[in-house]
C-alpha cells in the first residue's frame, strides 16, 4: 500500500469520529516520526495510538500545540505487534447429519483439565464480577482513562512485504487478511460421514431471568450526564441508529450491524464516568444531543485468556449478563476418553524433519499433505508453477490436520492456525432480532479466515444425555455440539465413547454464535491437532465469504425445524435468511401467494411492454 493510501485510511478512521483532517494531520505526522515511519504500529488496533493521542492532546493542550506535545508523548505507548495466524482459503457447503442419539444416565460430576491444553477450571469467576458494589458496570483496569477499543479501519491493508520481514513468534508480522496465505492443505473425500452438528435448545426456550439484578444499566444523555434509566423506559434512537436499523432489516446476511462507532462513543462516555476527560470530549463531539445508552459493557469477557480481547456490549436492552466460565481450550468434564500422548503420533503423522514454516516449502510437509487442496488450488499446482498466486478457495474441504508438538516446524508455521487461538477482533452483542446474544466481527474478514474454535466441556454422549435430563429449564440456553466421533475410524463408537462439546456452563466466545439457515457466513471444520484417530478433534470456524466489519457471525446449526418428533423442541428461528427452514405453514402459504402475485405482475408488465414498446425500468 502506498503512503497516500495509508494516510487516507488513517484520516478515514478519524473522520468517523468527527475529528477534522486538519487537526489530525499534524498528529499523524508527529506520531509517524516517533514511530520511525512504522505504519504497522500506526495502524494497529484501528489507529488506536493516533486517536488516543488526538484526544489526549485535545484534552490537555488543544491541537495547536501538537508538535510539542506529541514529542512528550510517551514512546512506551506504542502498540506492540501481535502474533497473527495464517488463513485458510476454502469453501464448502455445510452438510447435516440429523442423527441425535442419547443414552442412559451416568454418575457424578468433577472437572479435570485436559493434558497439554492449559484449560482453566470452572472455578473461574463469572462475568458478573465485572461490577462494583453499587452495581455499576466497571470498566477493566486497563480500560480506564484510555480508549483502547477497535475502530473499523476503512479496509486498511497491511503491506505485502511484511510477510517477508522478521517472523519470530514474538513479533510475527501482522499480515492483512487479504495477504495471508492459506494455512491448511485439504484432502479430498477424507471422511465417510459428515460432521454431525446440532444444538439442543433447553427444554424451555423461554428466557427465565431469575438471576438477581446485580447491576444497573448506564445511560448517558447529551453532554455525558450519567443516569440509570428506569426499567421499561424506551430507548431513544438517533436518526443514524434508526437508519442503520432499517438497513439492517433489509440486508440479508448482514444483521445487527449496530453502529460500532456509536458503541465506541458510549464506551467513551463511560470513561468520563471514570474520570477521563479526553473521552468525554469525544462523546460531546459526537453525541449531537442524542440520547445514548449502553446497558452493559465488558471490555474483555475472556479476562485475558485469549490473544485478543473480546468485548461484550448491550445497547438494546437491560438484560442479565450470560453466566458461564470462559475457557480458551476444551476441557474434559469427566469420563470422556481423550488420549493425548506423543507416543500415539506415528512418524508419518508428523513432520519431525521440518523447520520454520511448513507451508513455505514448495512440497507440503506430511501434516499438510494429510489435507490436500482441491485440484484447482494454486498451491497444489505449485510444483509446476514457480510463483503460485494466493489460493482462491477450494471446492471441497473436509478436515484440517495441523502440525503439532512432534513436528519440527516452529509455532509460526502456517499449518498451525487453530492452535494459536483467536486473533480476530470479535464482540458479543445483544441482537435486535430476538436471538439473544450474538457475535460480530469488528473488522473486515476475508474469506477463509479462522475466527474461533468451538470450545466447551468434552462430554460423552451419555453424559450429555444425563445433563439434559437434569435440565431444570432455568438454563438460558444449552449449547452442545456432537463430535462425529466415529468419522474416519473403523468402528462405530458407542454412546459412552462418542464425544460432544457442551459450552453451556463453560466455553468460549463461540457459544454466542447464532444460527442462520443455509447462508451463515461461517463454516465449522474439524481440525486434528493432538490426537491422530479423530475420536476427538477440534471444531473450528472459518469464514465462508468476505465478512464486513460489524456483521454478525452465524453458522448453520443443521437443525431440522420440521422434526416435531425430536425430544428437544427447536427454537423459533429468527435468522432472517430468505432460505430460512423454519417456515410456518401460514408463512409458506403467504410466501407462495406473494410469489404468484409477483409473477402475475411481471407477466402483465411484459405484455404491456410488448404492446407499447416501452422499456421496463
Ligand X SMILES: C[S@@+](CC[C@H](N)C(=O)[O-])C[C@H]1O[C@@H](n2cnc3c(N)ncnc32)[C@H](O)[C@@H]1O
Pattern 553-572, binding to ligand X, x per CB under 6 A? ------------------x-
CA distances to 84, 183, 420, 520 from 544, in Å: 20, 15, 20, 8
Query: Which residues between 479 and 498 bind ligand X (CB under 6 A)?
Result: 479
Measured from the CB atom, the residue of 414 and 520 that comes closer to ligand X is 520
- Residue number with CB closer to ligand X (312 or 350): 312
Cα-based angle 231, 233, 237 (whole degrees, multiple of 5)? 130
| Residues forming beta bridges with residue 365, ordered by sequence position | none
Q: How far is CA 587 from the centre of its chain?
A: 32
Binding string, 496-525, against ligand X, x = CB under 6 A? Answer: ---------------xx-xx----------
With CB under 6 A as the contact rule, the residue among 199, 429, 454, 487 that binds ligand X is 199
In the complex, least distance from residue 135 CB atom to ligand X, rounded to whole angstroms: 22
- Which residue's beta carbon is nearest to the bound ligand X? 436
d(CA 397, CA 186): 6
Output the smallest distance, CB 392 to ligand X, in A: 30
Closer of 21 and 319 to ligand X (Cβ): 319
C-alpha cell of residue 46: 484501528
CB of 511 to ligand X, least distance (A): 5
Rounded distance, CA 22 to CA 63, Å?
10
Residues 363-422 interacting with ligand X (rule: CB under 6 A): none
CB of 201 to ligand X, least distance (A): 4
Q: How far is the CB of 438 from ligand X (least distance, A)?
A: 6
**Coil, strand, or helix at residue 86?**
coil
Tell me the closest approach of the beta carbon of residue 476 to ligand X, in angstroms. 6
DSSP letter for each residue of 358-381? GGGSSS--HHHHHS---TT-TTGG
Nearer to ligand X, 196 or 514 (CB): 514
Q: Minimum Å distance from CB 572 to ligand X?
A: 6
Total residues binding ligand X (CB under 6 A): 18
Does residue 253 touch ligand X according to CB under 6 A?
Answer: no
Per-residue burial over 346-359, b = 16 or more CB atoms within 10 Å of its CB, e = otherwise:
eeebbbeebeebbb
Which cell goes with 464? 450429555
Nine-digit cell string for 317: 436492552
DSSP 130: G
Give residues with Cβ within 8 angstroms of 17, minimum separation 6: 51, 151, 261, 264, 282, 285, 286
How far is Cα 258 from Cα 256, in angstroms, rounded to an integer? 5
Beta 225-227 vs 218-221: how paired, if at all?
antiparallel
Give, to the nearest 10 degrees, the angle between helix 277-287 and helix 39-60: 90
Question: Is-contact 351 126, C-beta < 8 A?
Answer: no
Of 100-108, 197-205, 250-258, 285-293: span binding ligand X (CB under 6 A): 197-205
Cβ-based neighbours of 135, under 8 Å, separated by 6 or more: 213, 214, 215, 216
When the beta carbons of 322 and 488 are compared against ligand X, the nearer one is 322
* Rounded Cα–Cα distance for residues 512 and 510 (Å): 5
Report the 10 Å Cβ neighbour count for 34: 20
What is the number of alpha carbons within 13 Å of residue 560 lying toward its C-beta? 13
The angle subtended at Cα 46 by Cα 43 and Cα 50, nearest 5°, is 65
Q: What one-character DSSP code corresponds to residue 113?
A: P
CB of 509 to ligand X, least distance (A): 10
Is residue 525 helix, strand or coil?
strand
Report 425-444 residues binding ligand X (CB under 6 A): 435-438
Between 371 and 514, whose beta carbon lies closer to ligand X? 514
Q: How far is the CB of 570 from ligand X (least distance, A)?
A: 8
Angle of the 21-34 helix axis to the 3-15 helix axis, nearest 10: 130
Q: In this structure, how many other beta carbons lie within 10 angstroms of the beta carbon of residue 199?
A: 21
Nearer to ligand X, 514 or 543 (CB): 514
Rounded least distance, CB 342 to ligand X, Å: 34
Nearer to ligand X, 330 or 514 (CB): 514
Query: What is the closest distance, in whole angstroms, from the C-beta atom of residue 437 to ligand X in the complex?
Result: 4
Interior angle at CA 400, CA 397 and CA 401, nearest 5? 150
Kindly tell me which of 216 and 516 has the beta carbon lying closer to ligand X: 516
Q: How far is the CB of 562 from ligand X (least distance, A)?
A: 15
Nearest distance in Å: CB 319, ligand X: 9
Dist CA 43 CA 54 (whole Å): 15
Which grid coordinates belong to 583?
417456515
> What would the grid cell of residue 329 be?
481450550
Q: Grid coordinates in use for 413?
A: 508455521
Choose between 404 and 479: whose C-beta lies nearer to ligand X.
479
For ligand X, the closer of residues 260 and 515 by Cβ is: 515
| Shortest CB 436 distance to ligand X, Å | 3
User: What span, in angstroms and rounded, lies between the C-alpha atoms of 353 and 169?
Assistant: 20
Which of 302, 382 has the CB closer to ligand X?
302
Binding mask 200-239 for ligand X (x = CB under 6 A): -x---x----------------------------------
Of the residues 46, 322, 456, 480, which one makes contact with ligand X according to CB under 6 A: 322
Q: How far is the CB of 592 from ligand X (least distance, A)?
A: 23
Among 477, 534, 538, 544, binds ligand X (CB under 6 A): 477
Q: Residue 143 or residue 437: which is nearer to ligand X going by CB?
A: 437
Nearer to ligand X, 30 or 257 (CB): 257
Could you tell me whether strands 514-515 and 552-555 are parallel, antiparallel, or unpaired per DSSP bridges? parallel
Restricting to residues 570-609, name those near ligand X by CB under 6 A: 571, 573-575
Least separation in angstroms between CB 501 and ligand X: 11
- Of the two residues 420 and 515, which places its CB atom closer to ligand X in the complex? 515
In angstroms, the CA 539 to CA 451 distance is: 11
The nearer residue to ligand X, 464 or 573, going by C-beta atoms, is 573
C-alpha cell at 37: 515511519
Which spans of this chain sit near ligand X (rule: CB under 6 A)? 199, 201, 205, 322, 435-438, 477, 479, 511-512, 514-515, 571, 573-575
Amino acid at each position: 500500500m502506498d503512503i497516500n493510501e495509508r494516510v487516507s485510511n488513517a484520516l478515514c478512521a478519524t473522520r468517523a469520529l468527527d475529528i477534522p483532517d486538519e487537526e489530525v494531520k499534524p498528529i499523524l505526522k508527529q506520531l509517524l516520526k516517533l514511530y520511525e515511519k512504522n505504519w504497522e504500529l500506526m495502524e494497529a488496533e484501528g489507529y488506536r495510538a493516533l486517536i488516543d493521542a488526538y484526544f489526549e492532546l485535545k484534552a490537555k493542550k488543544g491541537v495547536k500545540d501538537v508538535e510539542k506535545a506529541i514529542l512528550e508523548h510517551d514512546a512506551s505507548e506504542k502498540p506492540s505487534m501481535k502474533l497473527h495466524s495464517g488463513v485458510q482459503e476454502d469453501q464448502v457447503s455445510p452438510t447435516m447429519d440429523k442423527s441425535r442419539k442419547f443414552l442412559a444416565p451416568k454418575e457424578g460430576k468433577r472437572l479435570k483439565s485436559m493434558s497439554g491444553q492449559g484449560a482453566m477450571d470452572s472455578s473461574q469467576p463469572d462475568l458478573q464480577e465485572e461490577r462494583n458494589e453499587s452495581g455499576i458496570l466497571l470498566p477493566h483496569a486497563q480500560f480506564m482513562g484510555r480508549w483502547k477499543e477497535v475502530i473499523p479501519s476503512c479496509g486498511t491493508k497491511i503491506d505485502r512485504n511484511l510477510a517477508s520481514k522478521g517472523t519470530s513468534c514474538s513479533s510475527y508480522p501482522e499480515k492483512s487478511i487479504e495477504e495471508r496465505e492459506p494455512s491448511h492443505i485439504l484432502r479430498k473425500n477424507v471422511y465417510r460421514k459428515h460432521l454431525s452438528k446440532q444444538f439442543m435448545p433447553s427444554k424451555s426456550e423461554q428466557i427465565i431471568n431469575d438471576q438477581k439484578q446485580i447491576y444497573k444499566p448506564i445511560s448517558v444523555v447529551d453532554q455525558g450526564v450519567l443516569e440509570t434509566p428506569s426499567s421499561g423506559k424506551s430507548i431513544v434512537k438517533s436518526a443514524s441508529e434508526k437508519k442503520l436499523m432499517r438497513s439492517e432489516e433489509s440486508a440479508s446476511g448482514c444483521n445487527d450491524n449496530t453502529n460500532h462507532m456509536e458503541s465506541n462513543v458510549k464506551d467513551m462516555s463511560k470513561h468520563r464516568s471514570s474520570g477521563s476527560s479526553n473521552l468525554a470530549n469525544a462523546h460531546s463531539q459526537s453525541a449531537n444531543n442524542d440520547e445514548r445508552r449502553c446497558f452493559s459493557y465488558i471490555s474483555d469477557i475472556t479476562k485475558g485468556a485469549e490473544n485478543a480481547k473480546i468485548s461484550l456490549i448491550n445497547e438494546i436492552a437491560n438484560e442479565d449478563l450470560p453466566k458461564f466460565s470462559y475457557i480458551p481450550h476444551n476441557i474434559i468434564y469427566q469420563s470422556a476418553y481423550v488420549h493425548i500422548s506423543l507416543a500415539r503420533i506415528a512418524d508419518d503423522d508428523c513432520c519431525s524433519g521440518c523447520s520454520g514454516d511448513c507451508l513455505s516449502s514448495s512440497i507440503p510437509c506430511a501434516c499438510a499433505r494429510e489435507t490436500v487442496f482441491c485440484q484447482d488450488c494454486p498451491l497444489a499446482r505449485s510444483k509446476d508453477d514457480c510463483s503460485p498466486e494466493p489460493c482462491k478457495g477450494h471446492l471441497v474441504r473436509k478436515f484440517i490436520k495441523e502440525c503439532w508438538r512432534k513436528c519440527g516446524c516452529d509455532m509460526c508455521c502456517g499449518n498451525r492456525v487453530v492452535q494459536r487461538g483467536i486473533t480476530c477482533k470479535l464482540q458479543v452483542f445483544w441482537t435486535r432480532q430476538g436471538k439473544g446474544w450474538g457475535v460480530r466481527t469488528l473488522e473486515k474478514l476475508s474469506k477463509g479466515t479462522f475466527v474461533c474454535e468451538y470450545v466447551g466441556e468434552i462430554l460423552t454422549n451419555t453424559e450429555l444425555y444425563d445433563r439434559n435430563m437434569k435440565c431444570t429449564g432455568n438454563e438460558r440456553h444449552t449449547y452442545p455440539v456432537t463430535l462425529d466421533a466415529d468419522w474416519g475410524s473403523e468402528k462405530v463408537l458407542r454412546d459412552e465413547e462418542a464425544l460432544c462439546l457442551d459450552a453451556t456452563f463453560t466455553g468460549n466466545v463461540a457459544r454466542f454464535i447464532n444460527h442462520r439457515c443455509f447462508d451463515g457466513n461461517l463454516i465449522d471444520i474439524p481440525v486434528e491437532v493432538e490426537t491422530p484417530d479423530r475420536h476427538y478433534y477440534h471444531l473450528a470456524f472459518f469464514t465462508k465469504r468476505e465478512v464486513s466489519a460489524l456483521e454478525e457471525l452465524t453458522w448453520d446449526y443443521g437443525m431440522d425445524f420440521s422434526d416435531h418428533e425430536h425430544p428437544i423442541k427447536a427454537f423459533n428461528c429468527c435468522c432472517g435468511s430468505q432460505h430460512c427452514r423454519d417456515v410456518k405453514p401460514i408463512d409458506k402459504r403467504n410466501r407462495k401467494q406473494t410469489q404468484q402475485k409477483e409473477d402475475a405482475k411481471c407477466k402483465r408488465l411484459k405484455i404491456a411492454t410488448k404492446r407499447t414498446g416501452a422499456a421496463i425500468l
